[in-house]
């Protein structure tokens, strides 16, 4: 994985959550996921937001990861796909 602005346990937790969510989206893909991370501008103060791009089995998925006092991962629609609401996954 490349590009994250966080490290340590928050990065480990975010990575694990993205991999769990992505594995549920493509359960038949046994290929190792390639993850690239870039910052997202425009979030409120105190929130680190990143766009995680996951490449696996010939497809690409985008996830928005927000690191606040609690972690959340939200699937983003590909730029060429419109009208599909984002999916949210927040741990309980």
* pLDDT tens-place string over residues 12-61: 889 999 999 999 999 999 999 999 999 988 777 778 889 999 999 999 99
Question: What's the CA gap between 12 and 16, in Å, rounded?
Answer: 6
Q: Are 53 and 3 in contact, with CB atoms under 8 Å apart?
A: no
Whether this prediction's pTM lies above 0.75 is answered by: no
Task: Quote helix, strand, coil % in the chain, to nearest 5.
Answer: 20, 35, 45
**What percent of the chain is predicted at pLDDT more than 70?**
79
């Amino acid at each position: 994985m490349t590009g994250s602005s966080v490290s340590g346990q928050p990065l480990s937790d975010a990575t694990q959550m993205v991999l769990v969510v992505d594995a549920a989206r493509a359960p038949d893909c046994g290929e190792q996921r390639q993850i690239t991370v870039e910052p997202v501008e425009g979030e409120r103060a105190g929130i680190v937001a990143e766009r995680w791009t996951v490449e696996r089995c010939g497809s690409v998925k985008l996830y928005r990861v927000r690191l606040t006092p609690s972690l959340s991962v939200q699937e983003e629609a590909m730029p060429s796909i419109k009208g599909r609401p984002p999916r949210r996954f927040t741990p309980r």
